[in-house]
Amino acid sequence: MRYSALWRSVGAMSCGSLVTYLTLRLFDGQQSSLLSSGDGKGELGPVDSGTWLHHWDLQKPQLQKVSNGEESSALRHIILVRHGEYTKTPNGSHLTELGRRQAERTGRRLREMDLSWDHVVASTMTRAEETAMIILKQLNLDPLKMKRCTLLPEGTPYPGDPPSKKSPRSLELAYQRDGPRIEAAFRRYFFRASPEQEHDSYLLIVGHSNVIRYLILRALQLPPAAWTRLNLNHGSITWLTVWPSGYVTLRCLGDSGFMPISELTHRRPSPAKSDNN
């Protein structure tokens, strides 16, 4: 943006709007720098240009030869599940009875999909762990198969557009605290299959709304600031596929059609409602 255009925009804003605007522009600048130069390790950050970045996972964007001379065609399927409804108790935050039913229904739905799970990962927050354990029982999988990941807990992944009702300062602090961690989660779990992978793989991630919304947009190379425009029900299923070419397709977003309408929820049942649940 040219300086003259910037100051024309500034002149039309109130003081409060100006603070919000400049804060978001600062965030945009930080992310542009990340995209241009990486973090010193050759890694790429969020993309806002709208043009597909073929080398997003730093692998060659074409089918690669495996040992037998044939081209690898293995897909990586990543299925993300939001935890069930929860509430805060004197003993911490735990699933409600409805949240447990939601997790059971989600587990049954995943079982009906008849997939061979290679890995199951859950956030270390209690509501995600409880949801994952209920799902594992429905899938007849050993609880020891599940790994707990400290990168997946809920947080503020990116400055939202439109922004939340929080003050610009608290928004900035939340993003500085959580953003790098959640971006690291993306880099840990999202990449195309290696040339040596012979069969499709299935990764199940049980986590949180903010994190899942951000991961979806990052994987699709859509503006990550738009995560506040998406909504995910408790226990919903999101399915992305990473192709050998590096392209990513979204098979379903927040699917909860397998639940009765009376059991659909997306916020914590508390007078103090917020986006970060």
pTM for this predicted structure:
0.79
Do residues 214 and 227 lie in contact, with contact meaning Cβ atoms separated by under 8 Å? yes
Distance CA 238, CA 204 (A): 10
58-263 maps to CATH 3.40.50.1240: yes
Taking CB atoms within 8 Å and a gap of at least 24, the contacts of 267-276 are 268/85, 268/86, 268/87, 268/88, 269/85, 269/87, 269/96, 270/87, 270/88, 275/164, 275/209, 275/210, 275/228, 276/154, 276/155, 276/156, 276/210
- How many CB atoms sit inside 10 A of residue 241's CB? 16
157 strand-pairing partners = none
Query: What is the structure's pLDDT at 33?
Result: 39
pLDDT, averaged per 10 consecutive residues of the chain (277 residues), comes to 37 37 40 41 59 85 52 89 93 92 98 97 97 98 95 96 85 94 98 92 98 98 95 98 96 98 91 46
Residue with tokens 């209690």: 126
- How many CB atoms sit inside 10 A of residue 31's CB? 21
Q: Is 177 part of any known ligand binding site?
A: no
Query: What is the structure's pLDDT at 91?
Result: 77
- Domains of the chain, residue spans: 58-263
Decide: residue 152, CB within 10 A, 0-12 exposed, 13-18 middle, 19+ buried.
buried
**137 three-state secondary structure:** helix
